[in-house]
Structure 1
Amino acid sequence: MCFRSFGDRVNYWATFNEPNVAVIRGYRSGIYPPSRCCPSFGNCTAGDSTTEPFIAAHNVILSHSSAVHLYRTKYQKTQGGSIGIVMNCLWYEPFSNSLEDKLAVERALSFYMNWFLDPIILGKYPAEMKEILGDHLPAFSKDDMEKLKNGLDFIGINHYTSFYAKDCKFSTCEPKAGASKTEGLSLRIAQKDGLFIGEPSEVDWIYVYPQGMEKIITYIKDRYNNTPMFITENGYGYKEKPNFKREDLLNDVKRVDYMRSYLDAIATAVRKGADVRGYFAWSLLDNFEWISGYTERFGLYHVDYATLKRSARLSADWYRQFIANETKQCQSVFKEADVK
């Protein structure tokens, strides 16, 4: 229906946004609807965290391939658009220089992101997942494999932060999230020797680690033959502060520093050959942030929820000037090239 109704105006289609987050939090930890999990993984009334995430993910992959197949065969030639998928993409650093922790990084990436991208682009689940999960991974039929050959035109990357990965396959880990077989026997942690991987933010899952942006882009470039990429989400959040003065709420210096460093990391990856086609900040406006509701603010513009008044933060002014400066530099480069 969307292809038929809007395809003459939509140039880029994403079949799913962050299906890995929806599957993991909906069917493993149960903190998102439909809230299914085992007691050892979360507080749910029903579910099996060791099998259901892989069934749900398999269905996501099949529905993506069906949508792409439909678009390719019926609409793309006349409409001229592109179709892809958007993944939440974390970067991981090894907890130590040991071979075991370096392998834990590969498992962490495979059980989080490659889980979806490998079947869609390479036609099969990651080897790390097959080795650990065996028959718990659903199989693709011959018809499925034919549709998977359609792949995608671009990869959307939602990247905010990075973590350490610690081996739990060859080492003993405390029983906590990340240490089980269903999570690749790779423990995700934010601290090492009492220090966080990057400066913590007010949002408890964001640590400022801009080099992770360059590294995740480079990893995706190398693994997936430099498929065109878009940074579809990147941003910095603050907690709601109802008693703060308006001018303090608009002076988001840490967001400016975050965006500057992450955009510089993207530019470094592009200079090294990564085919990044665009960047989208999260977000233009403060908004409803999933299960956090209105308690977290990611907007370049502050929104007064009582009056709906929108006010430009420091980050909005900085980003506007950043775009203007980059545009001038690009125009100068192209002009010089034309003269030569």
Structure 2
Amino acid sequence: MECPSLAIFLFLLVLVAPINHHHPYFSIVVVSSPAADTDSLNRTSFPTGFVFGAASSAYQYEGAANVDGRGPSIWDTFTNKYPGRIDDGSNGDRGVDFYFRYKEDVKLVKDMNMDAFRISISWSRVLPAGRISGGVNEKGIMFYHRLIDELLSNGIEPFVTILHLDLPQALEEEYGGFLSPLIVDDYRGFAELCFREYGGKVKKWITINEPWTMSSYGYDEGIFAPGRCSQWANPACEAGDSATEPYIVSHHALLSHASAVNLYRQKFQQWQNGEIGIALNCFWMVPYSDSIVDQAAARRAVDFMFGWHMEPITYGRYPKSMEANVGERLPKFTKEQSSNLIGSYDFVGINYYTTFYAIHNSIGSKSGFRYKTDSLAEWRSEKDGVPIGPQGASFWLNVYPEGIRDLMNHLKHKYNNPPVYITENGLDEETQGITMEESLQNPDRTQYIKAHLHQLQKAIYEDGANIRGYFAWSLLDNYEWSSGYTVRFGLHYVDYQNGMKREPKHSAKWFADFLLHPNHTTTTTDKRHLCLKLQHESSSSL
């Protein structure tokens, strides 16, 4: 299909514009997505340059907790001090031996014909004391040089996360980590070390992974490190304040993010030619009913989970719903901080797994204020006894592919359609009660990935969403935080009882075939995408 001339296109716009009152220009002239169903999807179903990869993180993968000078992180302390808060009482001391087997695992990425691999740098492996003045661990520095070089030598682009939940324990003990504004300078120092060491080779940086998870699970519920919350919210918590600490932590995380981005842009970006962003997670929310209050509850729920961090980096402020509901407990940005936050990303990473129903709850918590109930929106995974979608191994994960498209449209309409990489997306199965062979042959993860890719393709070609790539969570079965080793998200099976042996699952073999098709320099798909883009840009200028 060739693009019509601009004159013809504008004439058609004028002719049909009044028909569609919701999107008066864009949706009338939309081009159908090139693939009609998931079975026909392949690499060429997506635009040229679209990146496919898999994701990992340091604490969940590396192991080698006490090897080569690594210092402890808050997750080392949390899992060893409170094994009862981990489903199987395990810890990440061994991870999946990635520190020793990274070459083997890089080959697995290559065998799937993937373009990229997402890793994170263990802050306490390179800076055991948390800051440069406390000493740089050269063995840690060299490990990441070797890992990045191994990826590049195999034609795989590294996407590098600077902080993926594993704050150095030294900074937690010294001043409370992200509860203190002192974290901003120390995080910036760590980020600068990463840029200086690896920026000549790394062209995609992610400042912080899931600040929502860090704040909500770590400081409101106490189920993630450092395990703080109000005791009435979780009796296992020895200290904390669920009414204030989550907001303080996210505030300092946002300031740390902006500080690192500004540093990168001022000192490194021009000559390193890289891009920098952040990875935010979001469960999409569907109103429980058609009532006005449930529709408003769904919007608030998204604001409190996603807008909490997306609004500041786009507009320099918190969502109005948070300001209204949280009041004086919500920290405020200075004018300078707000200015530094606005536009502090070249792309946005999105971690999407599932969708919930949201129902209005005007009561909040009877015991006191806390982040979890401040939104006055209750999450539910079923309606009238019917789940919103098939359930994975994790209680919170129901399959709802349409949610990822809804989220992309939310980004497009509310946050100016930023460049997006899906930095995590995946489905788990249980470790117990399922044999290795059953796990290897299980098609559910493959169907999950295909269904979500199909929705992303629709978001690109039918909605005009600016999506640049997709990373499956995860390359390997791994240590899944408070779930320990009880669930498996991997494209590859890890035999924990047999020397951590890796075996490709059904989903890994499917990915290898899916990506075997070359991403041609110019395809019919690309022409459709360009046509749609030109039409959308022309419409926006009217």
- TM norm structure 2: 0.59
Q: Rate the CA distance shift 1:193–1:179 in 2: closer, same or farther, 3 A.
A: farther
Match of 2:374 among 164, 183, 192: 183
Cα deviations across residues 55-113 of structure 1 (Å, max 9, x unaligned)?
11100011111001101111111111111100111100000000100000111011111
Higher deviation after alignment, 303-312 or 261-270? 303-312
1:102 matched to 2:286? The reply is no
Q: Rate the CA distance shift 1:61–1:268 in 2: closer, same or farther, 3 A.
A: same
Q: Rate the CA distance shift 1:179–1:68 in 2: closer, same or farther, 3 A.
A: closer
> Quick one: which amino acid aligns to residue 210 of structure 2?
E
Q: Which residue does 2:280 correspond to in 1? A: 87
Q: Rate the CA distance shift 1:262–1:335 in 2: closer, same or farther, 3 A.
A: closer
After TM superposition, list the pairs within 5 Å mapping 1:39-188 onto structure 2. 39-43=231-235, 44-169=237-362, 182-188=373-379
Q: Rate the CA distance shift 1:178–1:96 in 2: closer, same or farther, 3 A.
A: farther
Q: Which residue does 1:20 correspond to in 2? A: 212
After TM superposition, list the pairs within 5 Å mapping 1:186-335 onto structure 2. 186-241=377-432, 244-271=434-461, 272-305=463-496, 306-325=498-517, 327=518, 332-333=523-524
SS of 1:86's partner is strand
1:91, 1:215 within 8 Å by CA — same for their partners in 2?
yes
Cα deviations across residues 210-234 of structure 1 (Å, max 9, x unaligned)?
1011101111121110110000000
Distance 2:490 2:520 in 1: 27
Distance 2:527 2:281 in 1: 39
Distance 2:425 2:369 in 1: 24
Distance 2:340 2:196 in 1: 20
SS of 1:200's partner is coil
**Displacement, 1:290?**
1.0
Higher deviation after alignment, 149-158 or 264-273? 149-158
SS of 2:348's partner is strand
Q: Rate the CA distance shift 1:141–1:334 in 2: closer, same or farther, 3 A.
A: closer
SS of 1:199's partner is coil
**Displacement, 1:29?**
0.6
> Quick one: which amino acid aligns to residue 191 of structure 1?
E
Cα deviations across residues 4-47 of structure 1 (Å, max 9, x unaligned)?
11111111111100110110011101111111111332121111
C-alpha RMSD of the superposition: 2.3
Distance 2:244 2:370 in 1: 16
Q: Which runs of 5+ in 1 are unaligned?
A: none
Q: Rate the CA distance shift 1:217–1:267 in 2: closer, same or farther, 3 A.
A: same
Distance 2:387 2:521 in 1: 37
SS of 2:515's partner is helix
Q: Which residue does 2:57 correspond to in 1? A: none
Distance 1:179 1:278 in 2: 36
SS of 2:307's partner is helix
2:242, 2:369 within 8 Å by CA — same for their partners in 1?
no
Distance 2:415 2:434 in 1: 46
Q: Rate the CA distance shift 1:145–1:315 in 2: closer, same or farther, 3 A.
A: same
Q: Rate the CA distance shift 1:174–1:47 in 2: closer, same or farther, 3 A.
A: closer
Q: Rate the CA distance shift 1:180–1:213 in 2: closer, same or farther, 3 A.
A: same
**Displacement, 1:333?**
2.7
Residue-pair matches, total:
333
**Displacement, 1:286?**
0.9
Distance 1:156 1:284 in 2: 17
> Quick one: which amino acid aligns to residue 133 of structure 1?
V
**Displacement, 1:245?**
4.0
1:50, 1:182 within 8 Å by CA — same for their partners in 2?
no
Identity of aligned residues (%): 41
Q: Rate the CA distance shift 1:19–1:180 in 2: closer, same or farther, 3 A.
A: closer
> Quick one: which amino acid aligns to residue 309 of structure 1?
K
Distance 1:202 1:213 in 2: 20
